Amino acid sequence: MTGDYMTIVIAAMLVNNLVLVQFLGICPFLGVSSRLSTAIGMSAAVMFVMTLAAIATYLIRQFLLIPFELQFLETVSFILVIASLVQLVEIVMKKISPPLHQALGVFLPLITTNCAIMGVALLIVQHGYTLGETIVFAIASAIGFTIALVAFAGIRERLALMPVPKAMRGGPIALVTAGLLSLAFMGFQGLA
């Protein structure tokens, strides 16, 4: 039983890393990774929203969509749940930590259109996880997202000081860097 959970954790965190292998959540990955501090804040917000969203969408699917045979409403209902959760997190963050809210204010609404959250909710449906596995999978995926985002932000802080050819400045060099990071993560293949 614990072995199963361990496999889920390793697979979600490293082998099938959300950002670098599955291409989910690329927008925040490229958007908020130029400074380490914002990257950490964004990761924390994503981790919180992702876990809550995974649980909420799981419950809605089990107790509303399946009993009433409304699975075709999956996309619509999932995105609405996620959008409301993001609003909630924004309100809570504004109350508890105004500086963090100021730093992340622009990006919080963007979590709604963060494919990582929706993607994890849909992956859980695809894998047919139980509630326990759902929670473990969501947290592990969020940790994987954090690892990728923080590592990338660290590299980009260095990269900002490097002489880069004019055509490659900005987006292109960031993408090539992400490619090399993704190559490094290929090394985890076969671990789980």
Where do contacts with other proteins occur on this chain (CB under 8 A)?
20-27, 30, 72-76, 79-80, 83, 109-110, 112-115, 117-119, 122-123, 126, 167-168, 171-176, 178-180, 182-183, 186
Q: Which is nearer to other proteins, 6 or 169 (CB)?
A: 169
Q: Which is nearer to other proteins, 150 or 173 (CB)?
A: 173
Q: Which residues contact 151 (CB under 8 A, 6 or more apart)?
A: 181
- Least Å distance, CB 106 to other proteins, is 13
- Least Å distance, CB 2 to other proteins, is 28
- Least Å distance, CB 117 to other proteins, is 8
- Least Å distance, CB 183 to other proteins, is 4
What is the spatial distance between Cα 19 and Cα 121, in angstroms, rounded to a whole number? 15
Q: Which is nearer to other proteins, 6 or 106 (CB)?
A: 106
Q: Which is nearer to other proteins, 143 or 185 (CB)?
A: 185
- Least Å distance, CB 92 to other proteins, is 19
Q: Which is nearer to other proteins, 161 or 180 (CB)?
A: 180
What is the spatial distance between Cα 41 and Cα 59, in angstroms, rounded to a whole number? 28
What is the spatial distance between Cα 82 and Cα 106, in angstroms, rounded to a whole number? 17
